[in-house]
Amino acid sequence: MSLLAQQRMAPLGLHQTADPELAQVARIGSHFIELLREPHILPPALQTDIPFRLDRLPWSRFHLLVVLGLGITWILDGLEVTIVGSLGPALQSPDTLRLSSANLGSIASFYVAGAVAGALVFGWTTDRFGRRVVFYVTLIIYLTGVLLSALAWNFWSFALFRLVTGLGIGGEYAAVNSAIDELIPAKYRGRVDLIVNGSFWLGAAFGALATPFLLNQQVFAVNLGWRLGFGIGGVLGLAILLLRGFVPESPRWLVTHCRNDEAETIVKQIEEKVAADTKQSLDEPERRLEVHPRKSFGLSLIFSAMVGKYRSRSILALTLMVAQSFLYNSVFFTFGLILAHFYHVPNEKVGFYILPLAIGNFCGPLILGHLFDTVGRRKMISLTFGASGVLLILTAILFGLNRLTALTQTAAWLVIFFAASPAASSAYLTASEIFPLETRALAIACFYALGTALGGSIAPSVFGRLIETGSSWQVSFGYLAAAALLLAAAVVECKMGVDAEGKSLESIADPLSRS
């Protein structure tokens, strides 16, 4: 029996009893008491400079490999999500899955619902067990869902496989964004996060180019081409498993979870790689941080911080997530239907119209991303949300008045999403950097889940039904609702935004392990 247990039992006079049965009961009781009490005893405080050593590093090949290993998932997601959106009209054919417009909207909602569930489950898992193990698990689930989607035979099978795909991608949002923010130096964090999230649209561009080829019935049978789109994406995704071997566990996470020696080893290895790549000597950081490591942090501690000390930040993150989720899920899951029903664009040509949208969405974060690190988070987030909201109002009115063609409608979306894409990516950036390290992945997951549930999950189904009415004004009212959310997000950011540019994560929000 441990000395601690004997001390706790002494007042009861149980540790010295001569009765063997009573002694056995005493031992069991002592172990139970230890389980209840010892987790609340904080281990000795630890002084660490690991966060500041990571933040003072110059950009190097190591950071590029991290971005490629983690961010390439978004490219694949963009590829297959765009294929789904572009193939929508083709999947309505009697020779394929015979889906209605409402069915297509519901399938998009299944995907989003899966992403919400995946984000919540794997968000907690990421904070509890580490970033590295989770981004392998979520990638495998995601690829499984993609490959199964290629084998769907009716509405329900396709919906189920899209749900599985969503589970994986939802988990990826939490694990990947956490790892990137904790490994990338502070002065580059904003632009890298925006570009990584924006890389989704590179995949979308490839998907838009591939769709006309896949739907060409002179090349593939009508019920084969769309399946190959999923199959090819799933096979290519297997290469990501190899790329992720270059990405280490987050030293920031390790040091707060009683694994300081492992964190020190990883940081030394990173420093050696960076010094060798850049040929620069690295100065010793002047700052240190005191933390009380724990193997786990209770959900009550995490949620009390989010709704207590960081309540206004929670409102901010939720508002940004709802606005961007409603916009993107309403537009991109139904854009093919808009082109087919209102502009009579042939199925095999839908991809050509999605391509410029994808390019605009990627160019926005690529061109404007550095301004989020220089001009500042609050100004740029407010500006991009506000500008995209105003532009969407103008487009909605013109669409309702039937003043647009397929070409001008696409041009309008390109301009809107040039501003909306960095705004949407900044919502994930905001959720990932304004909360304590120990709750980072769960915070991303919670606000992604809430934002998607409140804004994204209902949008595809609602717009699918609006499109079925055949009324351009009915659809326009949906776009106006999306614009109102964007403008509300701009106002909230202006009032509650956090000036996080160039700052270490630990100075933006104190780690829970610091107390």
DSSP string for residues in 428-440 = HHHHHHSS-GGGH
As a whole number of angstroms, the distance between CA 274 and CA 271 comes to 5
As a whole number of angstroms, the distance between CA 435 and CA 127 comes to 13
Provide the 8-state DSSP code for 454: I
CA angle 62, 63, 64 (to 5 degrees): 90
- The answer to whether the beta carbons of residues 243 and 69 sit under 8 Å apart is yes
DSSP string, 470-505: T-HHHHHHHHHHHHHHHHHHHHHHHHH----TT--H
Q: Write down the pLDDT at residue 313.
A: 93
Helix (H, G, I), strand (E, B), or coil: what is residue 46?
strand
Residue 149 buriedness (CB in 10 A; 0-12 / 13-18 / 19+): buried
Q: Write down the pLDDT at residue 24.
A: 46
As a whole number of angstroms, the distance between CA 269 and CA 274 comes to 9
Per-residue tokens: 67: 């971005």
The H or E element that residue 289 is part of is strand 289-291
- Residue labelled with tokens 């202006």: 494
Per-residue tokens: 457: 């999950």
Q: Write down the pLDDT at residue 333.
A: 67
Domain coordinates in residue numbering, the chain: 1-38, 49-252+294-502
Residue 423: count other Cβ atoms within 10 Å of its Cβ. Answer: 31
Class of domain 49-252+294-502 as given by CATH: mainly alpha
Q: Write down the pLDDT at residue 299.
A: 65
- Whether the CA torsion 353, 355, 358, 360 is positive or negative: it is negative
Nearest alpha-carbon partner for 440 in 158, 180, 98, 66: 180
> What number of H helices and E strands is found in the chain?
23, 2
Strand-pairing partners, residue 291, are: 46
- Residue labelled with tokens 């417009």: 101
As a whole number of angstroms, the distance between CA 68 and CA 312 comes to 34
Provide the 8-state DSSP code for 47: E
- Residue labelled with tokens 């008491």: 33
CA angle 163, 239, 69 (to 5 degrees): 85
Could you tell me where the DSSP H helices lie in 244-259?
251-256
- The answer to whether the beta carbons of residues 508 and 433 sit under 8 Å apart is yes
How far, in Å, are 41, 135, 398, 406 from residue 245 at the CA level? 36, 11, 50, 44
Mean pLDDT by 10 residues, the chain (515 residues): 37 42 48 44 76 93 90 79 73 81 79 86 87 88 89 91 90 85 93 90 82 78 80 76 85 89 94 91 84 72 78 93 87 78 81 83 94 95 97 94 91 93 93 86 84 74 80 89 94 95 90 70
Q: CB under 8 Å to 135, separation ≥6 — which residues?
A: 70, 126, 171, 172, 175, 176, 179, 244, 247
Per-residue tokens: 386: 């506000």
